[in-house]
Each structure stands twice: as structure tokens, then as C-alpha cells.
Chains A and B, each alone.
Chain A
Amino acid sequence: MSNSVISVISRFLEEYTTKTSNKLKVVDAYLFYILLTGALQFLYCLLVGTFPFNSFLAGFISCVGAFILGVCLRIQINPENKGDFLSISQERAFADFLLAHTVLHLVVINFIG
């Protein structure tokens, strides 16, 4: 059982490192960073408490929102998905990403207290 899991994972990693383009790997690295940050915030909340609850929520939602927007960007700039996003060029995807982030940051800063 564990054997097949390990083999699946190793196969996945191999495919990933070879098949994905650099650009996407850059975005993936960013997504991984966001994920870690969010997880660490959640860990803090579990361990120490929710004292400034609004701050915790702001930080956590910032991570969640950034992750989602990052995923959207990744989907839109992936050349394999070009068929789904005919009218949206890569630059346009990036611009949308920036705009959405501006709004997200505005809300997060407002809520962080």
C-alpha cells in the first residue's frame, strides 16, 4: 500500500519537475509560500489563542485570498488552458491579479486593526 503511494508521489514529482515550465514553477513557489504563511498563522491561533481575533482573521483571509488569486493566475497563464481563456492574454491575467490584490489588501488592512 505505502509502496504505491510512494511510487505515485515520486512519479508526480518527476513529472512536475520536467513537464512544468519555469514560469509556472515560479508561481507555484509563491503559492507554496502563501500556504506556509497561512498554516503557520493557523498554528499560532491553535496554540496561543485568538486574542486579537480580528487580526488573526485578517491575516488568515489575506493568505487564503492571495492563494486563490495566485491559483487563478496560474490557471490563466498556463498555456495548456489556452483554449478556455481565449480572450484573456497573459498580461491581462496579470493585470487582473494585481487589481484583485489591491482590493484584497485594502480590505485586509482595514480589518487588521
Chain B
Amino acid sequence: MAQPRLFSLVLLTVALGAQALTPSHHLSLSDVARLQALLSQPFTDLASAYYSIVGLSKLGASVADENDACHFLKAQLDPMSVDSLFFAAEASQAISDCEIPVSNETRDILLAAVSEDSTVTQIFRAVSALSSLGLPLASQEVVGALVARIAKEDNVLAITTALQTATRLSQQAELGGILEEIEDLAARLDDLGGVYLQFEEGLEATALFVTAAYTLSDHVDTEPPLKEDQVIQLVNSVFSKKSWHSLSEAFSVACAAAALSNNRFQVPVIVSAQGPATVSHSQPILQLLVTDVLSNPLVSASVVVESAQAVASKSVILNQAPFSLRDGIFELNFMASQPASGYYQFSVAVTGDTRLVANQVELKVKVSTEVAITNMDLSVVDKDQSIGTKTSRVDYPFKAKGSFTADSHQNFAMTFQLVDVNTGVELTPHQTFVRLHNPKTGQEVVFVAEPDSKNLYKFELDTAERKSEFDSMSGTYALHLIVGDATLENPILWNVADVVLKFLDEEAPAAIQSKTLYMPKPDIQHLFREPEKKPPTVVSNAFTALVLSPFLLLLILWFKLGANISNFSFSPSSVLFHVGHACMLGLMYVYWTHLNMFQTLKYLAIIGSLTFLAGNRMLAQKAVKRIASK
């Protein structure tokens, strides 16, 4: 008895622990339709005919007019060209009753193309044409040529083409070496963020690789060396692009989709909710789409909820509940388990086929409900509790009959309960607001009503305390209750009553204040720095003359004292000295008007040294003269 419980518990922990990658992209039905439309374009040449016809056949559709297509192929065929033969042969295979005429020359041309000297693409096309036209070919020779070519052309597209070629060869041939190339190529894929796995050569190369890998693996009946995560990442890469710019790209995506939905080893599963993943009393059924990458429902699979756990309370509601299949959609009546409203984490497993990949999916399901407001009691309570409270009950959606008056001595109080309509359980939604709106001034003040421990909501308005929020504007305010939550189907906006609020020291209506907030503000005039007040020019000039006047006085004094230059000797050094000294004074003036310190110092150094030398000489001569005359 306990054993199955224990086993399911182990499975539960394993399921919860395994955070496997799930595909984020696939081809929805509209994507498939778009792909088909692109492939159904009218043919321009043999290559486009090939892509269209074979691509459509991979998607399970067919060309509009098969006869026309066959005629087109036969008309456009160039029996001398290997490429032409390839396109025509492959396309004709996809159309019923279309035979391409074969001649000995055709066979010879194709066989000649199978050699070490042709490119891999040529070999592939020749081999494919030969096999489609039903002509014999020597598989071992082909293998030899392929191996030689792979060694020479070591790029992704060439090796992929080689893999494709190998799918056309006999199973008895030595395909082991070529089979190993799948693993080598897979190692060359670029991992983008752990979500995408693709070649840097682009989408077409990746899609062709996927096709070749699965086709070849099926052909030799060996499981492809791709891990589950890699497969999912490849799925994401190939199907992330929803509009294809060229016919060859669309063709490669169609081939990859066909390979991924129908091969012997790995079939990725896409699990998604039909519409929003929400259940409620009116819609109790959770619908899931379980499909392959082409959005074909996997009708043979069995889908089971391994566990459904409430996100908030972490309690497990469901354990190993199966989905039932109806019209290609898997359904489960979740409301039958009577879950409380909120979010649930579903762990879904898809079984029934050993090939299924990414068959463990985590899904978040919302259970929504309707809320009812009960026991709404409004009252005006005196602050000092001397006068008894007058409580009136109001029923939703009616409005209270009288208005409630509250001045600064009183508090206005409101209590109510929020219950689930269907189960009667008390709810605590995210948003429970009380809005007071003054229709005259346009003021709006919003408060939050909070539940106490018994889930009873209380709102109290202390008139005196809250007067700043109301700007002390007395008047009649309409009181609304707003209840909302993501899990509520009926959010509520209820005009409960009118409340007349009386505030003390009412200020003059400053309600218009807010309107001027967004009006242009007064211009700021820039004040430039006023220049300092200069004294009048007369004063400056007068003082300049005054300051220079002592010089006159000096000259007069010197004259009176009898200072003279009669002793001036015209020796070269004294002349030079005086000239140099005069130059230095002149340099000072030039410094004041034109130069900067560095230039001045430069000139000063030159003139100064000359003056110094001359002056030294002159003074020495003077000293000699003085001492001699003593």
C-alpha cells in the first residue's frame, strides 16, 4: 500500500528536480500554412520546381496541378546536365505518375559524375538521380569517392551533403566512417545561450544537417549521437525563423520538420495550453495541445499530470491524473479537484512512445474565481466614544441611502469581508482600495483597506489626521471600493456611499494649484556680470598727473644739488652699459604691452648678460679712477 505512494513521491522529486529544456519554438499551424504557401509559388526553373514539389511532399501536401508540374519537369530537363537530371528525377518521384525518360547516355553521364574528381554536391546529385531513376550504382565506389572528397572539402555543407548521399546507398556498404561524421559535425555547432544550437553558416545549413542526420540514422538503423538537450536546441534554432527569404531555405526547414516529426529515434514533443492556461467555474477544463514540431497532434500519446502544486501554499492538489483526448486536444477537468483560487505549477509527462524527447513539461495554471463582498458595515464613530456608533449595512451593488457626516471629532469606519462566490472561502486579493472623490474640486484620495488576522477588512478615516491629504477641503466625497486581483474574474468598482467631511480652518481653495504645475513658468532673464564701477576719467587723469609730478620735483632737487653727468666717460663699455640698461627698461614696457614672462626672460637674459658685462667693466674702471684720485 505504501509502496506505490513512495514510488510516486520519488517520481515527484525526480520530476521536480529535472529542469529539462523544452522547445521554445516550433511550427504552429499558421507557420506551416505560410511555409506551404511559400513553397507553392509558381515554378521559375527546374531548381525552384524541385524545392517546391519535394518540399510540399515533405509537409504532406502536394502541388496544385501535378500534371502541369510533370510537363514542366520534362520540358525543362537538360539530359546532359547532372544538376538538371537530379532536380527532375527527385521532383518526379514526389509526383505520382511522372516518369522521366532515361537513356544510356543519361546513365553514363550520371555514373561519370561519381568520382573523386567531382565535388560532393555533384556526387550527391548524381547518386540521387541514379537512385530515383532506378538505375544501378556501385555503393562501395561512391563511399570511396565520398570519403576522399570529405577529406578535401572539410566544410559543413559538404559533409552534410555527403551524409545525404549515404542515405541513398545500399545498407550493405561500409557507411560507418560516414556515420561518424554526424558526431563530428554536431561538435561544430555553436551553442547560443544554452537555447540555440546552430552552425555559423546559418539556418539552411543547420536544417539540412538535421535532415541528413536523422535520415541517415534511420537508414542504417543506428540511434543518432545527439543528446536530448541538443535536439531541443536544434529545434529552437531551425524553427525560430518564421519567414524564409529563399525557396531553398524554406525547403530545408520543411525537410527538417519532416525529419523531426517522423524518424525512428527522437521525436520532440511540443506541449502548450490551448488558449490561456486558466480554469474557473465557468471553464473548468484545462486544454493542452500535445503535438510534434509540425503541430500534428500526438494522438497515440498518454498525457498525465504527475503533480499539480499550489504556488502559494506548496500543497499538492493532483497526483498522476490523466488527460483525456478529445478531437486532438488533451483535456482535464481541474475544477473537479476543487482547487482554491491562485496559481498552480503543473508537472506534465507525455508517454506512450519511446522516441519522445522533451516530454516532461512544467506548466503554470491559474485558477480564477469570482469574489463577493459581504457584511459591508459603514459607521461614524466618535473619537471619544461618548456617542454610540451608528452602523448601517450596505449590500452590493446598492449605494447607502443616506450620506455619512464626519467632522474632526469623528472617524468614519468601514468593515467588510471578501469571499469566494463558489466556495465561501475568505479571499485576500492584491488590490483593495478605498477611493474618495470630490466631484466639485476633482480631488481624489485613495487609501488601502487592510485585512486583520481573521480576514476581515477594515478601513478607518480619521478626519483630523488626514486633512492634509484632502487639502482641508470640506465637502461631499463619493466613496468607492475597488477590488482587483489577477485571479479574480469580476473586479469590483462600487460606489458605496457619500461621505461629507468637515475640516477645521479651511483654507481658500488651493485646489487649482495642481493645474498650474504644468503651465509655462516665468522667464528667467540672464543678468550678465556688471562691470565694476570705474571712477570718472577726469579723476583718473588728475591722479595720473599728480602721481607723475614728484618726478619733476626730483629733477628740480637734483638740479639744485648740482647733480650732473659731466663725468660721463664715453668709453665703449659705459656706452654699451647705458644702452643695455635702456634696452632693459624698454623691454619692461614691451613686456607690459605684448610679451609673456617666458619671452621676457629670454630677452632679459640676452640683454642682461650684455649689460652686466659692460657694467662690470665700466664700474671697475670707475673704481680704479676713484681709488687713483684718492
Please give, as numbers and ranges, the residues of chain A lying within 8 Å of B546 by CB-CB distance.
Answer: 40, 44
- Interface size of B by CB at 8 A reads 35
Please give, as numbers and ranges, the residues of chain A lying within 8 Å of B551 by CB-CB distance.
Answer: 33, 37
Q: What separation, in Å, do the CA atoms of A75 and B480 have in the docked complex?
A: 102
Please give, as numbers and ranges, the residues of chain B lying within 8 Å of A92 by CB-CB distance.
Answer: 619
Given A29-B554, A106-B600, A91 contacting B543 (CB threshold 8 A): no
Q: What separation, in Å, do the CA atoms of A110 and B554 have in the docked complex?
A: 26
Please give, as numbers and ranges, the residues of chain B lying within 8 Å of A51 by CB-CB distance.
Answer: 532-535
Given A98-B581, A109-B588, A112-B592, A41 contacting B547 (CB threshold 8 A): yes
Given A91-B620, A94-B619, A48 contacting B584 (CB threshold 8 A): no
Q: What separation, in Å, do the CA atoms of A112 and B593 have in the docked complex?
A: 11
Within the complex, the shortest CB–CB distance from A8 to chain B, in Å, comes to 23
**Cβ of B75 under 8 Å from chain A:** no
**Cβ of B562 under 8 Å from chain A:** yes
Given A29-B554, A29-B561, A94-B619, A44 contacting B547 (CB threshold 8 A): yes
Question: From residue 532 to 549 of chain B, which have CB atoms closer than 8 A to chain A?
Answer: 532-535, 539-540, 543, 546-547
**Cβ of A13 under 8 Å from chain B:** no
Q: What separation, in Å, do the CA atoms of A105 and B563 have in the docked complex?
A: 25
Q: What separation, in Å, do the CA atoms of A62 and B562 have in the docked complex?
A: 27
Q: What separation, in Å, do the CA atoms of A39 and B615 have in the docked complex?
A: 33
Whether B543 and A102, one on each chain, are in contact in the complex, defined by CB atoms closer than 8 angstroms, is: no
Q: What separation, in Å, do the CA atoms of A110 and B587 have in the docked complex?
A: 12
Please give, as numbers and ranges, the residues of chain A lying within 8 Å of B447 by CB-CB distance.
Answer: none
**Cβ of A72 under 8 Å from chain B:** no
Whether B623 and A89, one on each chain, are in contact in the complex, defined by CB atoms closer than 8 angstroms, is: yes
Please give, as numbers and ranges, the residues of chain B lying within 8 Å of A32 by CB-CB distance.
Answer: 553-554, 557
Contact of A106 among B533, B543, B588 (CB under 8 A): B588
Please give, as numbers and ranges, the residues of chain B lying within 8 Å of A30 by CB-CB distance.
Answer: 554
Q: What separation, in Å, do the CA atoms of A36 and B276 have in the docked complex?
A: 102
Contact of A29 among B543, B558, B626 (CB under 8 A): B558
Given A91-B620, A105-B588, A48 contacting B615 (CB threshold 8 A): no
Q: What separation, in Å, do the CA atoms of A112 and B533 have in the docked complex?
A: 19
**Cβ of B616 under 8 Å from chain A:** yes
Q: What separation, in Å, do the CA atoms of A37 and B543 have in the docked complex?
A: 11
Q: What separation, in Å, do the CA atoms of A37 and B553 have in the docked complex?
A: 11
Q: What separation, in Å, do the CA atoms of A51 and B540 have in the docked complex?
A: 11
Q: What separation, in Å, do the CA atoms of A23 and B623 have in the docked complex?
A: 15
**Cβ of A95 under 8 Å from chain B:** yes
Given A30-B554, A37-B547, A40-B550, A109 contacting B591 (CB threshold 8 A): yes
Residues 69-113 of A, flagged 1 when their CB comes within 8 A of B and 0 if not, give 000000000000000000001111011001000100110011010
- Interface size of A by CB at 8 A reads 28
**Cβ of A22 under 8 Å from chain B:** yes
Q: What separation, in Å, do the CA atoms of A71 and B106 have in the docked complex?
A: 126
Contact of A33 among B554, B588, B604 (CB under 8 A): B554
Please give, as numbers and ranges, the residues of chain B lying within 8 Å of A41 by CB-CB distance.
Answer: 547
Please give, as numbers and ranges, the residues of chain A lying within 8 Å of B623 by CB-CB distance.
Answer: 89-91
**Cβ of A68 under 8 Å from chain B:** no
Q: What separation, in Å, do the CA atoms of A92 and B562 have in the docked complex?
A: 24
Instruction: Considering the complex, give the chain A residue whose CB is closest to the CB of B592.
Output: A109
Within the complex, the shortest CB–CB distance from B624 to chain A, in Å, comes to 10
Residues 1-43 of A, flagged 1 when their CB comes within 8 A of B and 0 if not, give 0000000000000000000001001100110110011001100
Q: What separation, in Å, do the CA atoms of A106 and B14 have in the docked complex?
A: 92
Q: What separation, in Å, do the CA atoms of A48 and B540 have in the docked complex?
A: 9
Given A29-B554, A109-B591, A91 contacting B539 (CB threshold 8 A): no
**Cβ of B622 under 8 Å from chain A:** yes
**Cβ of B192 under 8 Å from chain A:** no
Please give, as numbers and ranges, the residues of chain A lying within 8 Å of B534 by CB-CB distance.
Answer: 51
**Cβ of B224 under 8 Å from chain A:** no
Please give, as numbers and ranges, the residues of chain A lying within 8 Å of B550 by CB-CB distance.
Answer: 33, 36-37, 40
Within the complex, the shortest CB–CB distance from B602 to chain A, in Å, comes to 13
Please give, as numbers and ranges, the residues of chain A lying within 8 Å of B591 by CB-CB distance.
Answer: 106, 109-110
Instruction: Considering the complex, give the chain B residue whose CB is closest to the CB of A113.
Output: B592
Instruction: Considering the complex, give the chain A residue whose CB is closest to the CB of B627.
Output: A89
Q: Which 3 A-B pairs have the closest CB atoms?
A: A91-B619, A33-B554, A36-B550
Provide a sorted-by-A list of 28 A–B residue pairs whose CB atoms are within 8 angstroms: A26-B558, A29-B554, A29-B561, A30-B554, A32-B553, A32-B557, A33-B550, A33-B553, A33-B554, A37-B547, A37-B550, A40-B550, A44-B546, A49-B535, A51-B532, A89-B623, A90-B623, A91-B619, A91-B620, A92-B619, A95-B616, A98-B615, A102-B604, A102-B608, A106-B588, A106-B591, A106-B604, A109-B592
